[in-house]
Amino acid sequence: MADNTHSQAKSTGVQTTGHVWDGDLQELNNPLPVWWTYTFYATMVFALAYWLAYPSWPIGKGFLPGMNTITYVNTEGKEESWHWNTRAKLLKETQDAVIAQKPYYDKIAGLPYEEIAKDPELSSFIVSAGKAVFSDNCAACHQAGGQGKVGFFPNLADDDWLYGGSYATINQTLTKGRRGYMPPFNESLEAGQIDQLAHYVFSLSGGKADPAKVAKGKDLFHSQAGACYYCHGDNAKGRMDIGSANLTDQVWLWADVPGSPDDTVKIDAIRKVIVGGLNKGVMPAWEGRLSAEQIKLLTVYVHELGGGK
Ligand code: HEC
Ligand code: HEC
């Protein structure tokens, strides 16, 4: 091996590194391509510039902070500069967004709902900013598109409302929160009666149920013992002041098993609601957590989601 160190390959005339395999397989010592060499130098220059511009090398207990700075407004309202870092960057971006949104929020604060909805400039702001505030605060429960989840959270994207879909009621719902309550009937009614009521309620939205039970259930619904009419109304269409559901519209929040083609399963779900009552529908109050303007923005956003009323 030693004798062909830095000799030239016979076939190409290029200098070799002296490594030989299998007796005649040589490694050529070609110079590096020019593009590669310059790219390599460029990365060195870039690294140097980067070290100078951004926080880089540790020095003692500190580090080289770099020459790039970020200027933002501190909590006392004064401008302050900090060496570039991601926390300052986030702070600055958040402030910029608040500053950019302020004229819109000011306009929203000063206008009645109808005009906010009609204003073309505000409409697109409501779609984008409303969507962002909704995603941050509401989507965890009501889902990203406001479609809700049967058994948990009402759908806000239909025009069916528990408490009402006017601007004023939506605003009230958001500001103060809501908590629907229906008492359990397992002690005041017998199982047979609850069964009759469940059949009657199922029939109200067009479900096929045993006619004899439906007739008995109807009497119970309007009797003192059942007292259903008291909260759901004589026509069973619900009372929006207490958020008792409309039982005639095929829109169910609690008493449903989505996707089940089986009527007995659905009647059973209604039976469960009557037996156990309802006290789990808690819509939190947003007063104090969101600003009045944000609540106003969301009111319009939710109103548009559900087609309003
Ligand atoms: C912790 C879960 C949760 C969060 C978060 C939440 N909601 Fe609700 N929301 C509910 C529940 C549950 C109800 C139904 C209350 C009831 O059944 O009485 C409801 C009811 C509503 C209603 C009334 C619907 C109707 O049909 O009348 C509106 C409007 C509403 N929410 C909007 C919002 C908005 C906007 C936000 C974000 C600021 C939000 N909710 C955040 C759980 C939530
Ligand atoms: C004190 C008032 C009150 C009484 C009495 C009452 N309900 Fe309710 N009911 C409610 C409220 C409020 C809701 C909605 C709860 C919520 O959304 O959180 C509800 C919901 C329901 C639901 C579920 C609707 C859905 O969308 O899934 C059914 C079914 C129902 N009631 C049937 C009855 C029947 C049958 C009776 C009589 C035995 C009755 N209720 C008596 C207040 C009442």
Average pLDDT of span 232-240:
95
* Ordered alpha helix ranges (H), the chain: 34-53, 86-110, 113-118, 120-137, 139-142, 167-176, 191-204, 211-221, 228-232, 263-276, 292-305
From the CA of 277, how far away is ligand 2's center (Å)? 7
Asked if residue 138 has pLDDT above 90, the reply is yes
Read off the pLDDT of each residue in 18-42 and give the average, rounded to a whole number: 91
Distance from residue 286's CA to the centre of ligand 2 (Å): 25
Look at ligand 1, atom 20, and give the residue with the nearest C-alpha: 283
Domain boundaries, the chain: 34-63, 71-110, 136-305
The CA 147 to ligand 2 mean position distance, Å, reads 21
**From the CB of 154, is ligand 2 less than 6 Å away?**
no
Band of residue 279 on the pLDDT scale cut at 50, 70, 90: very high
51 lines ligand 2 (CB under 6 A): no
pLDDT > 90: percent of the chain: 72
CA distance 56 to 159: 56
Question: Taking 70 as the threshold, does the pLDDT of residue 186 lie above it?
Answer: yes
Q: 131, 136, 137, 142: which to mutate for ligand 1, most atoms within 8 A of CB?
A: 142
pTM for this predicted structure? 0.81
| Residue 252, ligand 2, Cβ within 6 A | yes
State in Å: Cα 153 to ligand 1 middle: 7
- Centre of ligand 1 to C-alpha 159, Å, is 14
- Please determine, looking at this structure, whether the domain spanning 136-305 carries the CATH number 1.10.3720.10: no
Per the listing, tokens 């559901």 go with: 245
Query: Under 8 Å CB-to-CB from 221, ≥6 apart: which residues?
Result: 197, 200, 201, 228, 229, 232, 236
Segment 74-128, tens digit of pLDDT: 878 889 999 999 999 999 998 998 889 999 999 999 999 989 988 988 989 999 9
Q: Is the pLDDT of residue 44 over 70?
A: yes
**Any atom of ligand 1 within 6 Å of the Cβ of 251:** no
Mean pLDDT, residues 121-149:
93
pLDDT for 1 beyond 60:
no
Angle at 125 between CA 123 and CA 127, to 5 degrees: 70
Q: How far is the CA of 272 from the centre of ligand 1 (A)?
A: 23
Using the mean position of ligand 1's atoms as its centre, give its distance from the Cα of residue 178 in Å.
7
Which of 203, 214, 231 to mutate for ligand 2's pocket (most ligand atoms within 8 Å of CB)?
Answer: 231
Ligand minimally distant from the alpha carbon of residue 220: 2
